[in-house]
Amino acid sequence: MTLAPLLDMTRTIGQPHMDYVIIGEGNTSARIDADTFWIKASGQQMVNITETGFVAVRFAPILAMLDQSAGDLAAQKAVMQAAKVDAAAAGIPSVEVTFHAMLLHECGVNYIGHTHATAVNRIMCSPRAFDFATHRMFPDEAVLCGPESVYVAYEDPGLPLALAIRDGVRKYMAEWGEAPKVILLGNHGVIALGNTPQEILNITAMTVKAARIFEGASGMGGPVFLSREDVLHIVRRPDEIYRRNLFVEKTSH
């Protein structure tokens, strides 16, 4: 897989009017092949990122960190540096490289987009974060974002966060029999999982819209959530599955 679709997706996500990220916030990744993936390098700004703002990394050494004692931060950084496909390449993988590798691997998706969208973080920094993650309010939210989001309470960024996300994702997959589309991080942000760049953009946009609706409805005695029965009915309807696939294909070329 070439870098161009990930580069375009990252610049789009970083546009200031989206209010998803500012300065060096957020990170994106994409599978290259079975053994390697691209990840945004540490310290890069999404909006004006170029080809040199990404680093190609091997899955195996990063995934190994999740299953064995990875040592202190300096030792972890040495592993990340050694995991680069081209050791001479300039960038250092984002500190969140562990959760990117884990999600691409465990969820079988091709793209990850992680942002600190203001609308979502208004809720993630409130006592209603879990409530927002585990309910759906309107049909298109359920269609694009799945029947629920995975909620992960605040953890230290890096390896502790990656391990907490892995626990949440495994529980979700055991319950729903499929990978999640959205992971919500308490006091931190949102992760979208998808197979195309367009799917990442759609899921992030819909999560932000849902967050705005949640906040507005909360001020009027709500929100009124869809019942679990209604959510299941929507996500399994053949016409909605057809529509969802259409959204994904539209700009995947």
- Applying CB under 5 A, the residues found at the interface with Zn ion are 189
How far is residue 103's CA from residue 82's CA, in Å, rounded to a whole number? Answer: 20
Give whichever of 91 and 189 is closer to Zn ion, judged by the CB atom. 189
How far is residue 61's CA from residue 48's CA, in Å, rounded to a whole number? Answer: 29
94 φ, ψ to 5°?
Answer: -50, 150
Return the residue nearest Zn ion (CB atom): 189
Cβ within 8 Å of residue 28, ≥6 positions away: 6, 9, 10, 13, 39, 40, 46, 111, 112, 113, 114, 200
Q: How far is the CB of 34 from Zn ion (least distance, A)?
A: 27
Amino acid at 79: V
Give whichever of 189 and 194 is closer to Zn ion, judged by the CB atom. 189
Give whichever of 82 and 125 is closer to Zn ion, judged by the CB atom. 125
How far is residue 182's CA from residue 147's CA, in Å, rounded to a whole number? Answer: 10
Give whichever of 14 and 189 is closer to Zn ion, judged by the CB atom. 189
Q: How far is the CB of 189 from Zn ion (least distance, A)?
A: 5
Q: Tokens standing for 72? A: 């202190």
Q: How far is the CB of 131 from Zn ion (least distance, A)?
A: 21
Q: How far is the CB of 42 from Zn ion (least distance, A)?
A: 12
Q: How far is the CB of 237 from Zn ion (least distance, A)?
A: 34
DSSP 51: G
Give whichever of 49 and 234 is closer to Zn ion, judged by the CB atom. 49
